[in-house]
Chain A
């Protein structure tokens, strides 16, 4: 008998309409997605495709308007599973007067990491992200790239089973991008699951073994990268499922031409 694979993240007919949005303006619609343990998944899509909303729902930063979202096989409302998650924000706003070391101790405590573990992990992580020579320097003096590196370090404090990277290479130079690639590889080796959100295909190409493409709030592709790269225009839109979100009126499914356009933008092949 086959044992069911542990779902690190699962979306069942999940949808989201923000409070101040126009009626029927779905940021995310009828998403059905399952990410299993040990996978490195790339989440691709143009701007305003719903990538960040999907991440926010997974991290309980926002609640789904329709459907259900699970983290480690439990509803996302169960916050203790967040102790197994590391999150890198695309533009973190860390307190400018805190030192790198101080920030990691503070965020580590909120991640429920013990003081003993923090004493060991903080210097090691600062070393790993190339900030070992500036542990007591205020973050206000850091460049954008250094802040992003610090963001990576704080996400790794709890040795996460799921690492969510939202545009992690934003503002990073070449060595910073290389660092992200190395960290994702390391996490893969230790068996962690990685969800990499990006609107650039380059890093997804190198790191991910599965790609999910979002367009206008819908998953339009979920599969191997190779298939997608060979002929993005040939990708058929996934049929919407019959889920709870179908009870709420939704706009039409994105047309094939729109999909072609979006995927063409991602892979440098503009639609004719």
Chain B
């Protein structure tokens, strides 16, 4: 099959996935949630609260809410006190700024990226797209398609590319929309926030690949959904557990060191499985979360010990997703219909 033919097939399958999302209203539900988030960002305004430090500097300021002598001495010692207001819902709620404007916007970005998109958004995307492949692979629907000359693995990959493109489109709307809305309202255009798009799509791809593997075998939406959610929990547990095992001797010196066997097994599990916790950490770090939230002790120690490798975490997660999709496609290629 020619490259043009293959591309044309993938385009049609992607188009069909968007059709599926429109038919099942998933397209509008996800777009509706993104619109709400964009509207929320459009309602935000920061008054005052000018930047108190250069971008590469740690903030050195005193929150406005601090009372007493510190507040009196601060200006004399060169420590500034933020003096702005953050208003939400077009001024319906006003909060005094405890940080400068940039940090206030980063806080909102962090809540949107790590809280809304990376957790709730990812779960909803998995739930809402879980039925796409089983519906595509339903006997009456797929048999006619399988009698077409397109190679089976291409048919399967094309459909998966369609689902990933759909999620990427929704992620793009969410991140670019909220980023532009916040930028327009606050004047803060921090493009690091946009790293959320590829990182979120990668996370989704990892868990969707499990859903695809189950769909190729069982063709049942419920099995796909629970399978991918269980895998998510397993990967989170393994990812966090590994960091805990690495960090524990540092955090509590009274505890005995884990046996080499345990450490080896945990390391093997960590490197084989995708790493959702690491990907979340990379996303948070890209928005410079340390200015806003403290990181879990285990993650801090792992980074300090040089046991956290962002590039390898991304690469191995991607590899795991590709491997799972490859197994699913192989299974689909050999399945009887």
Contact = CB atoms under 8 A, between A and B. Distances in A.
Interface of A: 18-19, 56, 59-63, 79-83, 85, 87, 89, 91-98, 106-107, 109-112, 151, 154, 164
Contact of A107 (B8, B144, B155): B144
B148 interface: yes
Nearest to B9: A110
Given A62-B336, A97-B22, A112 B149 contact: yes
7 contacts: A56-B336, A59-B147, A60-B147, A62-B337, A91-B140, A151-B144, A164-B147
Nearest to A98: B19
B149 A83 contact: yes
A56 B337 contact: yes
Contact of B147 (A18, A61, A97): A61
B144 A154 contact: yes
Contacts of B12: 106, 109-110
A19 B331 CA distance: 14
B295 to A, nearest CB: 46
B13 to A, nearest CB: 8
Contacts of B139: 93
Contacts of B23: 95-97
B67 interface: no
B334 interface: yes
A91 B141 CA distance: 9
B234 interface: no
Interface residues of B, number: 29
A2 to B, nearest CB: 32
Interface string B134-160: 000011110111111111100100000
A109 B1 CA distance: 13
A87 B1 contact: no
Nearest to A164: B147
B20 interface: yes
Nearest 3 Cβ contacts at the A-B interface: A93-B140, A62-B336, A82-B149
B140 A92 contact: yes
B150 to A, nearest CB: 5
Contact of B143 (A80, A89, A106): A89
Tell me which of A62, A87, A110, A154 has the highest count of chain B C-beta atoms within 10 A of its own C-beta.
A110
Contact of A110 (B19, B143, B148, B336): B148
B250 interface: no
Contacts of B80: none
A106 B124 CA distance: 29
A167 to B, nearest CB: 13
A94 B146 contact: no
Contacts of B9: 109-110
B5 interface: yes
B336 A82 contact: no
Given A18-B336, A96-B23, A79 B141 contact: no
Nearest to A105: B12
Nearest to B140: A93
A80 B1 CA distance: 8
Contacts of B20: 95
Interface string B30-56: 000000000000000000000000000
B8 A63 contact: no
A63 B16 CA distance: 28
A95 B17 CA distance: 11
A82 B147 contact: yes
B150 A112 contact: yes
Given A93-B140, A97-B22, A110-B12, A61 B5 contact: no
A96 B9 CA distance: 21
A18 B145 CA distance: 21
Contacts of A85: 147
Contact of B336 (A19, A79, A81, A154): A19
Nearest to A58: B147
Given A97-B22, A109-B12, A110-B145, 14 more contacts: A56-B337, A59-B146, A81-B149, A87-B147, A92-B141, A93-B139, A93-B140, A95-B23, A97-B23, A106-B15, A107-B144, A112-B1, A154-B144, A164-B147
Interface in B302-337: 334, 336-337
Contacts of B22: 97
Contacts of B146: 59-61
Nearest to A78: B149
A270 to B, nearest CB: 33
Contacts of A92: 140-141, 144
Contacts of A97: 19, 22-23
Contacts of A164: 147
A216 to B, nearest CB: 20
A91 B337 CA distance: 14
Contacts of A61: 143, 146-147, 336-337
Contacts of A18: 336
B144 A79 contact: no
B4 to A, nearest CB: 10
